[in-house]
Amino acid sequence: MCLLPCGACIEERFERPVSHAWIQVNYFGTAVCTARRVIPPHMHGHYEICVMTEGRALYTVDGERYRLDAGDLCLTKPGQLHEMRGADLGDWSMFYAAVEVAGLPDIEMAFRLAPARYLSGCSESLPLLTRVLDEARQPGLGTAHLLQSLMTAWLIDVARRLSPATPRRAVHSPYSHPVECARGYVERNACYRLSAEEVARAVGLSPSRLAHRFTEEMGVPLGRYVRNVLMQRALRLLEDGRLNVSQIANEMGFPSVHYFSAAFKRHWGAPPSRYVRRGGNEAEAPRRIVTRV
């Protein structure tokens, strides 16, 4: 029995729940959707992990479609175009998290090189994710530290599932060496003045050849990928709260704070001032947002 209007979604999201040198969880939450609900194609500058908790959905990434049942997990890498939609079999729900794990290089490498985008049989993690949500909903003493520990344990479990079962099974990057190098160069050097020509020189290809291969393998033009990484970095700096908007614009090489603000609003749909952290500290409770669409 459908409990929501057709195409509807009730989303409960916790913003900035974990910020630590090891991992950065930009947000996590749950979404309860009808069979006809479509989460349209989009991409991120971070890793996104979704776990189906009930029902069935269809997950499409880079043109490949997977059926997700309860307990199944999908990993979307930075810059990958993806969407989710109901499988017309009733309401469905999922847990999702946007994470960065640069402080855990072995975990980050497992995510980066994993050929799999979809994993079945991950229902064992559901009790842990339920505990994460319960702690975020009713924060208490040490909530920030507990969430960090729980999320780190979960990410390690996901990385192990993505990694080979034995050392004899080699893991290869799903991208060619030039494209993998280009991704790494962009992530290390993203700024307003970073051009496709500079990236091409860094990886030893002509701009046209790199553009063709990047779009072919990543499913997104190089220029758009650069903008996405740039805006994700801007969002992290704003939420970190140590720099003001003018300083961030200068740090990222924008010609003016007005130009930066306009570019940020075009990308995120809201001005930078909406994302500035206003006081508080790392141990404050995560901000909860519940929306009905």
Q: How far apart are the first and last CA of the chain?
A: 19
Residue 129 binned pLDDT confidence (cut-offs 50, 70, 90): very high
Q: Do 127 and 49 contact (CB within 8 A), yes or no?
A: no
- Calculate mean pLDDT across residues 10-36: 85
Residue 49 reports pLDDT greater than 90: yes
Q: Which residue has the tokens 């999702």?
A: 96
Mean pLDDT across the chain: 82
- Calculate mean pLDDT across residues 245-253: 90
Q: Do 10 and 32 contact (CB within 8 A), yes or no?
A: yes
Which of 80-84, 194-198, 239-243 shows the highest mean pLDDT? Answer: 194-198
Residue 59 reports pLDDT greater than 80: yes
Residue 115 binned pLDDT confidence (cut-offs 50, 70, 90): low
- Calculate mean pLDDT across residues 236-250: 85
pLDDT value, residue 89? 73
pLDDT value, residue 6? 53
Residue 21 reports pLDDT greater than 70: no
Residue 208 binned pLDDT confidence (cut-offs 50, 70, 90): very high
- Calculate mean pLDDT across residues 45-54: 91
- Strands 56-61, 64-69: parallel, antiparallel or unpaired by DSSP? antiparallel
- Any idea which of 66-70, 91-95, 150-154, 175-179 has the lowest mean pLDDT? 175-179
Residue 284 reports pLDDT greater than 60: no
pLDDT value, residue 100? 87
Long-range contacts of 208-217 (CB under 8 A, 24+ apart): 210/178, 210/179, 210/182, 213/176, 213/178, 213/179, 214/179, 214/182, 217/174, 217/175, 217/176, 217/179
pLDDT value, residue 255? 92
- Any idea which of 27-41, 43-57, 66-80, 228-242 has the lowest mean pLDDT? 228-242
63: left (phi > 0), else alpha (psi -120 to 50), else beta? Answer: left
Torsion of CA 172, 176, 181, 183, to 10 degrees: -90
pLDDT value, residue 279? 46
Residue 171 reports pLDDT greater than 50: no
pLDDT value, residue 283? 46
- Any idea which of 34-38, 103-107, 198-202, 264-268 has the lowest mean pLDDT? 103-107
Return all residues near 7 (Cβ < 8 A) that are at least 6 apart.
34, 36, 37, 38
Q: Which residue has the higher pLDDT, 283 or 258?
A: 258
**Which pTM was predicted?**
0.60
- Calculate mean pLDDT across residues 227-248: 84
Q: Which residue has the higher pLDDT, 115 or 112?
A: 112
